[in-house]
Amino acid sequence: MTYVNNQIVLITGASSGIGASCAKVFAQAGGKLILAARRCYRLQEFAKTLNLPDDKIHLLQLDVCDRTSVESAISNLPPYWSKIDILINNAGLSRGLNKLYEGDFQDWEEMIDTNIKGLLYLTRYVVPSMVKRNRGHIINIGSIAGHQTYPGGNVYCGTKAAVKAISEGLKQDLLGTPVRVSSVDPGMVETEFSEVRFHGDTERAKKVYEGVTPLTPDDVADVVFFCATRPTHVNINEVILMPVDQASATLVNRKL
Ligand code: NDP
Ligand code: 8X3
């Protein structure tokens, strides 16, 4: 078992959903949390609920799409916070469910910039110090959408397929070091994800989960924590988890 007590855990997208649940589970285990997101007020509100002393929590207002900001945020971390042990690349979003040939360019840019480029920037700026210190773990939040494409999913599915390939590539490039790489790939999880996908249309977002018992963000955080706490010689490469009511990206049992 690897203990996360006093390990420094950087979680992107910690202001909501899966990222916030990961923060809770790592806080309970004594991790030192660096929580990053764009919405500072949400991070601060959430941080209060964790009730942690200052030496256990550090907040970063950060847009992962902005490479210069990511570089500066990581290189200007106070020395106490600079040795990141676990990087959870969770920040991500979907935008729209349009047919590809009718897709919105702005939606595409946002998904590609956040889910692929943002994840790459964090990885590029955090991992060298892990390699130097001979310790570390990168846990990427992928998706069932990276394994199976569904109608209207096109670009979002493409970004999550990229996350799958990037996780595999990073593991290969880290071979010979003790640094671990995992990809946690959920099916349907009820968070703000669908509200963001449908640009704030809450009624449409609610329908996604109608008649189904979806995963909770805590269910996903449990799996992330499991990956992080295996003995140091064990690498969990990839976990796909779905609600019992789901069998594939498109096959859902709705009790309506
Ligand atoms: P939420 O919308 O609840 O949370 C997304 C988080 O990402 C928020 O904290 C948001 O914070 C942050 N975020 C988005 N863009 C940026 C950015 N540019 N810079 C920094 N932070 C950003 O959704 P989930 O918790 O569901 O999503 C988390 C991850 O899980 C995503 O990668 C998603 O693709 C993946 N996923 C979700 C599934 C689901 O069904 N919900 C299933 C499979 C995977 P803020 O807006 O404050 O910046
Ligand atoms: C989120 C799950 O199926 O909505 O990645 O794409 S899905």
Mean model confidence pLDDT for the chain:
98
To test the pocket of ligand 1, the residue of 10, 15, 44 to mutate (highest count of ligand atoms within 8 Å of its CB) is 15
Cβ-based neighbours of 126, under 8 Å, separated by 6 or more = 10, 74, 84, 87, 138
pLDDT score at 256: 87
pLDDT score at 167: 99
Q: CB of 4 within 8 A of CB of 26?
A: yes
pLDDT bucket at 1, cuts 50 / 70 / 90? confident
For residue 214, which ligand has an atom nearest its CA? 1
How crowded is the C-beta side of 205, counted as CA atoms within 13 Å? Answer: 17
The CATH homologous superfamily for domain 8-241 is NAD(P)-binding Rossmann-like Domain (3.40.50.720)
Q: Spell out which residues line ligand 1, taking CB within 6 angstroms.
A: 12-13, 15-19, 37-39, 42, 62-65, 90-93, 114, 118, 141, 143, 186, 188-189, 191-193, 196, 217
Distance from residue 94's CA to the centre of ligand 1 (Å): 8
Distance from residue 238's CA to the centre of ligand 2 (Å): 16
The partner residues of 215 in beta bridges, in order of sequence, read 189
Looking at this protein, which amino acid is placed at residue 48?
K
| pLDDT tens figures, 15-68 | 999 999 999 999 999 999 999 999 999 999 999 999 999 999 999 999 999 999
List 80, 101, 125, 156, catalytic entry: 156
- Measured distance CA(236)–CA(224) in Å, rounded: 10
| pLDDT tens figures, 77-109 | 999 999 999 999 999 999 999 999 999 999 999
Based on the residue annotation, tell me whether 156 is a catalytic residue of this protein.
yes
The partner residues of 12 in beta bridges, in order of sequence, read 36
